[in-house]
Amino acid sequence: MTKIVKRLKQAYKTFDRDRTYALSEAIKLVKANAKAKFDETIEIAMNLSVDAKKADQNIRGVVQLPHGTGKTYRVAVFAKGVKAEEAKKAGADIVGAEDLMEMIQAGNMPFDRCIATPDLMGLVGRVGKILGPRGLMPNPKLGTVTLDVEAAIKAVKGGQVEYRTEKAGLVHSGVGRASFDDKSLLENIQVFVDVVTKARPAGAKGTYIKKMTLSSTMGPGVSFQLEV
């Protein structure tokens, strides 16, 4: 813990915490301070002028990052018959129906995303109270309830990330790794911000994006804005 605190203190000396940097500058600062012994995740946090308690302002969706996230996602698919075979060929890590449901009920969930064909949503509903709080419940709005399981699996494994508003209108997500080159990170971040910007709900008032921050897993946050 002492080492982490010392590292943060040193990192804060490298930039002005009250300044909003251009995205390209923020990327360089965040990468320079990502000094952990592992490849740190680069994360974006967006403070939006929305009330997450109101259903019409609780935005949620997915973003296909052009350069992926650098993370390997494990995918579970609820499917039977032909669709189960399609899922296996597409690279799903776990495919099943009743047996997958029983795994989840037993607390065994070795996956990061869950996809289901529409006909099995009744079965998925039985474990909704387990999947829901973990953000794993299949949802047609996110493309995870679909007959095209192949496309859904490839999207997840190809760098698709989910976003949703949390308390105080915060949206955050991983957008790459410290090992990514600056250009790849910049393009991933621009795409993420663009998608969230277009998702602005009609009920949002005033300045939609109040603040954006970029950070690494173990590093401090740097305020930034997109470059014109």
What CATH number does domain 15-69+160-225 carry, 3.30.230.10, 3.30.70.20, 3.40.718.10, 3.30.190.20?
Answer: 3.30.190.20
Q: Dig out the tokens for 7 from the structure.
A: 């590292």
Q: So what's the pLDDT on residue 85?
A: 97
Write down the pLDDT at residue 1.
Answer: 54
Q: Over the range 173-204, which residues count as b (16 or more CB within 10 Å of their CB) and which as e?
A: bbbbbbebeeebbbbbbebbbebbeebebeeb
Q: Global pTM?
A: 0.85
Please name every residue paired with 60 in a beta bridge, in sequence order, or none if there are none.
164
User: Which structure tokens are listed for 60?
Assistant: 């949620």
CA distances (Å), 57 to each of 5, 62, 185, 197, in order? 37, 16, 28, 13
Distance CA 26, CA 128 (A): 39
Q: Would you state the pLDDT for residue 155? A: 92
Q: Per-residue confidence of the chain (228 residues) as pLDDT tens digits?
A: 566 667 777 877 788 889 999 999 999 999 999 988 899 999 999 999 998 888 888 888 999 999 999 988 999 999 999 999 999 999 999 999 999 999 999 999 999 999 999 999 999 999 999 999 998 999 998 899 999 999 999 999 988 998 989 888 999 999 999 999 999 999 999 999 999 999 999 888 889 999 999 999 999 999 999 976
Check residue 3 and give its pLDDT. Answer: 64
Domain ranges of the chain: 15-69+160-225, 75-157
Model confidence pLDDT, tens digit, residues 63-83: 999 999 998 899 999 999 999
* Same fold yes or no, 15-69+160-225 and 75-157: no
CATH number of 75-157: 3.40.50.790
How far, in Å, CA of 75 to CA of 96, rounded? 12
State the pLDDT at residue 2. 64
